[in-house]
Structure 1
């Protein structure tokens, strides 16, 4: 048996992102998502999470997008926004570790205090896996007793307290045909599904593997604030397709989220 978690990043980014994620869960194969507490669609996403109890919901910790939830000196630009990813790389040495820790705690606490039963944690742009943030990631895991996405060999570097032996981490959709915006999924099904099959072939028997996705519809918030926008619509179509459902069923994949995988 091959066990997979299909996790959508960026729940809460905007109303259109929320809509795409819920569509991929209700009518597709999505099993899990992670919620950004600091973004414009956050409160709506919290309510949607409560209405869809079967969807596993984790916390998507943010350091490189939107505004912080706490007042900050070292984490923000002149407009009061987090530095973008490129700026983060330049500014990280000037950032206070204590401010990052407290900000991430505030984001997690906001979700918990609003009734979200968190299944796990990860981070926008995978910053929790960056070496300079290892100590912060460890402190967060110890404080909240939640597992972190095991991306880029994180568990080989850190002894975290609540990991669930989710050994694999793969991007399901970041491939040429799927990202091609000159053709619909419907017109290039064979090619798109071949790329997905290449990912599924890497899932090991008896192991649990997370497959990362980014389904969304597009509104002004996503379009004007992220360079990765229109491509996400195609992911909704693929995740909801009969063909992908049949592939997973016929190849004996079992679907999980972080909350129903035993430690």
Structure 2
């Protein structure tokens, strides 16, 4: 049976995001999430994670939103200590030191570990860990913390990679026209939503370990004012907690799991680590 990880990005972004993720786990099919160490909802997310130990929690490494955890004296941040936005990243990345990025991401992981979060894996906000110029940094993080990381290939216009990652394939579960259409209620659009879900899953049927990336959230002021991707996240909660979604997954032959249960003994990860030593 194929393994399916349903992972919510942005745990810690805000209280509303945290509440949406917990709702999707407690009353739905969400198995995993990744936690941001530098956001307004971080401490709340850490407490929530402790309350729901069956939710797998990884690190959601940040380089394009919020503040640095280590310094205001690097090119990673603006004069106020904020990371440069993703739209600015292509322009400013050449001024970044790889060591500064490595140190920042280590600080973020150390913060979560020091607060008692048993990490299952890591990925990154906006997939920056998988940008080609950051591959070596990602390898170093993986080796230092013995953590597997998300394969983001195919989600953005990235260059081809030459090394095996944690999952066979990552797909965005909800990024389709009807699911994103908030002009009508979920109940009115449900049939079309499930047609789109089935089409998305059909792209991953050859994967032994498939990750579906999701972004459930209840919209609070911080999310609404700081992210253009806000109201659509409510629809994701509806789908993730709908029993029909669980039935679809079962009918397709997937077994819901989290990163550590699916992959902790895989030969692929052992190969990655041996190749880095």
- Aligned residue number for residue 71 of structure 2: 71
Distance in 1 (alpha carbons) for counterparts of 2:13 and 2:45? 9
What displacement does 1:184 show?
A: 1.8
Structure 1 CA distance, aligned partners of 2:232 and 2:151? 25
Looking at structure 1, the residues matched to 142 and 7 of structure 2 have their Cα atoms a distance apart, in angstroms, of: 19
| Alpha-carbon separation, structure 2, partners of 1:92 and 1:205 | 35
Aligned to 1:252: 253
Match of 2:161 among 146, 157, 165: 157
Give SS of 2:211's match: strand
CA distance, structure 1, for counterparts of residue 146 and residue 139 of structure 2 = 10
Per-residue displacement from partner, 1:138-189 (whole Å, max 9, x unpaired)? Answer: 11111111011011169x62547xx54x211111000000111101211100
Q: Hey, what's the Cα distance between the residues in 2 that align with 1:158 and 1:143?
A: 20
Answer with 55-64 or 195-204: which moved more: 195-204
Structure 2 match to 1:42: 42
Query: 1:205 deviation in Å?
Result: 5.3
Matched residue of 1:6: which SS?
strand
- CA deviations on 1:226-256 (whole Å, 9 max, x unpaired) are 1111110110011001221221223332101
SS where residue 150 of structure 1 aligns?
Answer: coil
Instruction: Extract unaligned runs of 5+ from structure 2.
Output: 267-277
The two structures have a TM-score, normalised by structure 1, of: 0.94
Matched, 1:208 2:209: yes
Whether 1:12 aligns to 2:16 is no
Give the match for residue 30 of structure 1: 30
- Tell me which stretches of 4 or more aligned residues in structure 1 moved more than 6 Å: none
Equivalences, count: 260
C-alpha displacement of 1:103? 0.5
**Match for residue 228 of structure 1?**
229
Paired residue secondary structure (2:60):
strand
**1:109 aligned residue:** 110
